[in-house]
Each structure stands twice: as C-alpha cells, then as structure tokens.
C-alpha cells in the first residue's frame, strides 16, 4: 500500500468510535457513541435542509444557474475557515509527533497524511452542503443524468484547494513563530491577525458587490458566474463543469488540486522536522530566581492550571478567546463610530430608532462572549492523564468548580468592557446599564455551567490530537450551535418585547430566567460529579 494510505488507515482506525461500539463492553460508552451519531446526523440534516431551502429561493426567482457557484463558494469558504482553525493543531506540535516521526516515512508523507486525516474528518460537512444543493439544483434545472455523478465526484475536490491554502498559511505562521523564543505567543498572534482579516474580507466583498449594483449582476446570470470564476477560479471551474458540461474545467479542478497538494507538502516537508522541534522546545529564562511559591485555594489553583493550559496551546487559545477578541473590537468600534451609526449601517439606512435595540445589548455581547466556553473541552483535555486527576485528593466537584471559575474569569471582564462600551455609546441610563451588566454576568454563569454539563456528558479522553476535542468534539458542537441560534433568537425577542414593555422590567424578568437556567445547569454539574 501507499505510505500515505497506511498511515491514514492507522489513524482512522485508532480514532474511530466504531471500534468503541464494536468491542467495548461498557454500555455507557456504547450508548454515548450512538447518541453522538444521532446528534451528528441531526446536525447534517438541519444543514442540508437549510441548503435546499436556499436553493429553492434562488430557483424561485429564476437564478438556478448560480446554484453551482454558490455551492462551490460556500464549501470553499467553510473549508478555509475550518482548516485555518485546525491546521496548526493537526500538522504541527501534535501529541503523537515523536511516535510518527520514528517510523520509516518521510516528513512530507507524515504531514500529507495528517492533512488527509483532517480532510476526511471534515468531509461529511462539505458533502452535506454539496448533496443538498445538488438536490435543489436538480429540482429546478432538470439537468442531464451525467451531471449528478459529475457533481458528486467534483464535490470531493472542492474543499481541497482552500484547505491547502489555509494549511500553507498555517505553515507560514508556524515557521515564522518557530524563530522566536515565545513560539506559542507569536503563533497565536499571527493566527488572530489572519482570522480578523478573514472576517473583514466579508465586508470588503460586500462593498465591492454593492458598488457594482447587485440588481444588475443578478439579472446577468452568466456574468455572475464569470465574476465568481475570476475572483476564485476553482468555483468557476466547478460551475462551468456543471452548467456547461465542460470536461476540461472538471479535469482542471482535479488536476490543480492534486498538483497543489504535492507542491504544498513538498515545501512543508522540507521544514517539517525543524519547525516541530522548535515548537516543542521551551526556552529557559536567564534571570530565573527561586522565590517562595504563592498559596492559592484548591479551586483557584485549578483555574490557574487551566489558564496555563490555555496559554500553552495556540489552538486552545485561538478557539477559546476569538469571541472575546471580537467583543473588544465591537466595543471599541461602537465607541469610535457610534451605536446609532453602526445600527444604521447594518439596517442599510432604514428609519429605525436605535433605542429599541437597548434590551438586546446583553445578548449581542453574549453572542460573542458565549461563542465558546472552555468548560466544554477542558474535561476532555485531561486526556490520558485523567487517571492522575482522579488520584489527587480532591473531589470531582472541586475540579469542575475550578474549571468553571477559569471560564468566568476569562469571560466576565470582556463582557463588562463590551457592555459598558455599548451602553455608553447608546446613552443607556445608569439603572439599565447596571441591569444589563447583571444580566451579562448571569449569562456568563449559564454559559459556563451549561458548557460544563456538555463537557462532562460528552467527555472524550482517548483523543490523539487536541483539535478533536477543542474544535470538533461532540461537547463543543452540542454546546455551540444551539447556543448561538438561541442567542440570535433572544436578540430578536428582546427587541420585540422591548417595544411593548418597560426595558428595566423586561431585563429583570430575563435576569430571573437566566439565573434559574444557570442554577439548574450548575446543579446538574454537581450531580454528574458524583458519578
């Protein structure tokens, strides 16, 4: 067998939950595997339903021909963002590096295998989008039968190029940061810069389309396909292969994907060992002095341990602190630009009184702050060292209380800063500002406790790479998606109710509800800690 296939097969078998279901005699583990599979299938179905409805909207207004372009751009954007978050954790400084590099394989073979493993792990999400949009396209376009197998085959290649671009950017970040003593800090800063640029790119493209008059572009369907092809050629190749049936474009997409894969990992392979060696080494301070250690409570010591764990892992820090960073940017932007102007920009100048959005301020902040709770992944991050934690003379509830304390210490200061910025800019009264801060505090407590419930219930200790629990663990997914949709729904609900009742009274009612939910979640954590 090919070296890449041998390593890939071994990685997939060692991390597959199917083996747990087939060979484990623990009924709880087997039922957990079934529950995770059911939950994942539900998420796939929800995503597919959304994509089919999106295609129905385009088909209804006569824009069926743009569906392949939308499909290609959606998958490419998703693949780039997901890979950008995960590439460093998968390709560099991973736990089994020493074991893999001791095997008789070239460095670029190991790196390429890790990329393929990351690709296969994310492939179901991309195929869900592609298959759903293929169904929508088929309903409205009625293409020839050969379009369907061509669409399916090309779907496997659509995410490859953006994933390779993101992986190469991750390689550049790792290579640059490996030249500094504080490699984790430099790597984290560069990754944050790239993430912020990716977020800002959306507004740049939106401005470009607005300046070119979207109405005219939508009327010229072929022009839209040409424009998308020029902006991102792989999307144009996919669209032409599907809509026009050009075999040359299909072969071009496949050929460029394979060629780019070989080129990227030939370059990465040449520096792979040196980069990993630099990232895994730790510089010693020259002016180190022995001092009396500070004494902390057990809970505070656990929280500090979690802080060191987070700052020692760029993947953990980037995923855990992205929401807080965006919250700070939002707060500063609101102070500099003004709350009313931001609302006017978002609503495109619609005559809306910005004061009706005041009750939604805590939920707007929570949408960012509560995007990721460290308690969802921190129990699983103990990994194969979990037995050490169990052997310590502390109760499990104390361990979880320490982990929850760290998440509160992380989120509350950012919540206070952003809420105050929004309230000052929006000229909210002092009473309502204090109530919004209290509601934000309770929401942080709920996020912390509910995240811990997910983290304990869906704890995974047999991971081979921390990305598997930080970014794509079942606990993180089950916490994140419902929580984000709920936050968006609460923003709308708060605005609606704010037009019909006193803002202070509404906030008090919401504080009471959020407190009850936080208390229930904390109680569940205490019950789970006894098992």
User: For 410-472, what is the HEC assignment?
Assistant: HHHHHHHHHHHHHHHHHCCCHHHHHHHHHHHHHHHHHHHHHHHHHHHHCCCCCCCCCHHHHCC
| Count of residues in the chain | 531
Identify the sign of the CA torsion 271, 276, 279, 285: negative
pLDDT, tens digit only, all 531 positions of the chain: 566 677 777 777 776 777 777 777 777 777 777 877 787 788 788 888 888 888 888 788 777 888 888 888 889 888 887 787 777 667 776 666 667 777 777 777 888 888 888 888 888 889 999 999 999 888 888 888 888 999 999 999 999 999 998 888 877 777 776 655 554 555 555 555 655 555 555 454 445 444 444 444 444 444 555 565 567 888 888 888 888 888 888 899 999 999 998 888 888 877 777 776 766 655 444 555 555 556 667 888 888 888 888 877 777 877 788 888 888 888 888 888 888 887 776 666 556 677 788 888 999 999 889 888 899 988 888 776 666 666 677 788 888 999 999 999 999 999 999 999 999 988 889 999 999 999 999 999 999 999 999 888 888 777 766 777 777 677 887 888 778 778 888 888 888 888 888 888 989 999 999 999 999 999 999 998 887
Q: How far apart are CA 52 and CA 372, in angstroms?
A: 28
Predicted local distance difference test score (pLDDT) of residue 117: 83
Show the tokens assigned to 333: 């932007």
- Tally DSSP H helices, then E strands, for the chain: 24, 0
Q: How far apart are CA 396 and CA 449, in angstroms?
A: 15
- DSSP code at position 156: T
Predicted local distance difference test score (pLDDT) of residue 516: 94
Question: How many whole angstroms from its chain centre is CA 304?
Answer: 25
Identify the sign of the CA torsion 29, 34, 39, 40: positive
Assess contact for 514 and 446: CB atoms under 8 A. Answer: yes
Q: Tell which residue, 115, 97, 447, has the closest CA to residue 275.
A: 97
Q: How far apart are CA 184 and CA 313, in angstroms?
A: 7
Assess contact for 339 and 354: CB atoms under 8 A. Answer: yes
Identify the sign of the CA torsion 296, 298, 299, 301: positive
Predicted local distance difference test score (pLDDT) of residue 26: 74
Crossing angle of helices 314-337 and 396-426, in 10° steps, is 20
Reported pTM: 0.65
CA dihedral 172, 176, 181, 187 (to 10 degrees): -40
Assess contact for 475 and 377: CB atoms under 8 A. Answer: yes
Q: How far apart are CA 166 and CA 147, in angstroms?
A: 29
Assess contact for 324 and 411: CB atoms under 8 A. Answer: yes
- DSSP code at position 461: -
Residue for token digits 């890790």? 114
Predicted local distance difference test score (pLDDT) of residue 466: 73
Assess contact for 96 and 125: CB atoms under 8 A. Answer: no
Q: How far apart are CA 526 and CA 401, in angstroms?
A: 9
Predicted local distance difference test score (pLDDT) of residue 224: 52
Q: Tell which residue, 375, 529, 368, 515, has the closest CA to residue 451.
A: 375
H or E stretch at 482: helix 474-498
Residues 6+ apart with CB under 8 A from 211: none
Residues 6+ apart with CB under 8 A from 130: 71, 75, 151, 152, 155, 158
Predicted local distance difference test score (pLDDT) of residue 523: 94
- DSSP code at position 530: T
Assess contact for 374 and 406: CB atoms under 8 A. Answer: yes
> What stretches of 183-322 adopt beta strand conformation (E)?
none
Q: How far apart are CA 90 and CA 247, in angstroms?
A: 34
Pure H helices in 25-96 = 27-60, 67-91
Predicted local distance difference test score (pLDDT) of residue 449: 93
Q: How far apart are CA 335 and CA 329, in angstroms?
A: 10
B/e letters for 33-60, b = 16+ CB within 10 Å, e = fewer, are beebeeeeeebbeebbeebbebbeebbe
Assess contact for 365 and 419: CB atoms under 8 A. Answer: yes
For the residues of 283-307, what is the DSSP string, one character each?
A: PPPTT----PPPP--HHHHHHHHHH
Q: How far apart are CA 362 and CA 327, in angstroms?
A: 12
Q: For residue 144, how many other CB atoms are within 10 A of its CB? A: 9
Predicted local distance difference test score (pLDDT) of residue 64: 80
Q: How far apart are CA 524 and CA 515, in angstroms?
A: 14
Assess contact for 154 and 68: CB atoms under 8 A. Answer: no
Show the tokens assigned to 302: 């656990």
Q: How far apart are CA 199 and CA 425, in angstroms?
A: 23
Residue for token digits 């401005």? 207
Crossing angle of helices 233-243 and 147-155, in 10° steps, is 160
């Amino acid at each position: 067998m090919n070296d890449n296939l041998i390593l890939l097969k071994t990685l997939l078998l060692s991390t597959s939950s199917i083996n747990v279901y087939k060979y484990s005699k623990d009924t709880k583990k087997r039922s957990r595997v079934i529950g995770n599979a059911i939950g994942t299938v539900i998420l796939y179905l929800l995503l597919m339903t959304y994509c089919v409805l999106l295609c129905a909207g385009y088909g209804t207004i006569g824009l069926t021909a743009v569906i392949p372009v939308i499909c290609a751009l959606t998958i490419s954007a998703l693949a780039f963002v997901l890979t950008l978050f995960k590439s460093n954790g998968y390709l560099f400084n991973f736990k089994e590096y020493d074991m893999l590099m001791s095997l008789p394989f070239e460095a670029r073979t190991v790196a390429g295998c890790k990329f393929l493993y990351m690709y296969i792990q994310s492939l179901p999400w991309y195929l869900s989008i592609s298959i759903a949009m293929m169904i929508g396209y088929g309903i409205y376009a009625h293409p020839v039968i050969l379009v369907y197998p061509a669409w399916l085959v090309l779907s496997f290649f659509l995410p490859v190029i953006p994933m390779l671009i993101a992986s190469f950017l991750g390689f550049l970040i790792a290579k640059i940061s490996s030249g500094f003593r504080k490699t984790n800090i430099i790597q984290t800063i560069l990754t944050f810069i790239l993430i912020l640029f990716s977020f800002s790119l959306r507004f740049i493209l939106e401005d470009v389309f607005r300046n070119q008059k979207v109405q005219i572009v939508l009327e010229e369907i072929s022009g839209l396909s040409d424009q998308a092809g020029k902006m991102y050629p792989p999307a144009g190749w996919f669209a032409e292969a599907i809509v026009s049936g050009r075999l040359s474009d299909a072969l071009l997409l496949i050929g460029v994907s394979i060629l780019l894969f070989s080129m990227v990992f030939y370059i990465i392979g040449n520096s792979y060992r040196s980069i990993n060696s630099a990232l895994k080494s730790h510089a010693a301070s020259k002016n180190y002095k022995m001092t009396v250690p500070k004494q902390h409570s057990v809970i505070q010591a656990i929280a500090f341990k979690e802080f060191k764990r987070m700052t020692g892992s760029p993947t953990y820090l980037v995923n855990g602190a992205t929401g807080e960073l965006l919250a700070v940017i939002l707060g500063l932007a609101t102070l500099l630009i003004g709350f009313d102007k931001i609302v006017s920009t978002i609503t495109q100048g619609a005559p809306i009184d910005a004061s009706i959005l005041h009750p939604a301020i805590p939920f707007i902040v929570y949408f960012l702050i509560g995007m990721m709770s460290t308690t969802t992944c921190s129990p699983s991050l103990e990994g194969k060292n979990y037995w050490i934690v169990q052997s310590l003379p502390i109760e499990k509830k104390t361990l979880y209380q320490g982990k929850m304390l760290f998440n509160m210490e992380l989120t509350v200061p950012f919540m206070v800063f952003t809420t105050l910025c929004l309230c000052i800019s929006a000229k909210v009264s002092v009473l309502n500002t204090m109530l919004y801060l209290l509601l934000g505090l309770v929401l942080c407590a709920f996020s912390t406790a509910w995240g811990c419930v997910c983290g304990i219930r869906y704890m995974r200790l047999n991971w081979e790479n921390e990305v598997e629990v930080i970014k794509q663990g079942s606990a993180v997914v089950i916490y994140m998606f419902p929580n984000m949709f709920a936050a968006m729904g609460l923003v709308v609900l708060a605005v609606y109710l704010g037009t019909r009742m006193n803002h202070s009274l509404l906030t008090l009612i919401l504080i009471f509800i959020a407190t009850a939910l936080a208390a229930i979640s904390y109680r569940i954590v205490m019950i789970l800690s006894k098992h």
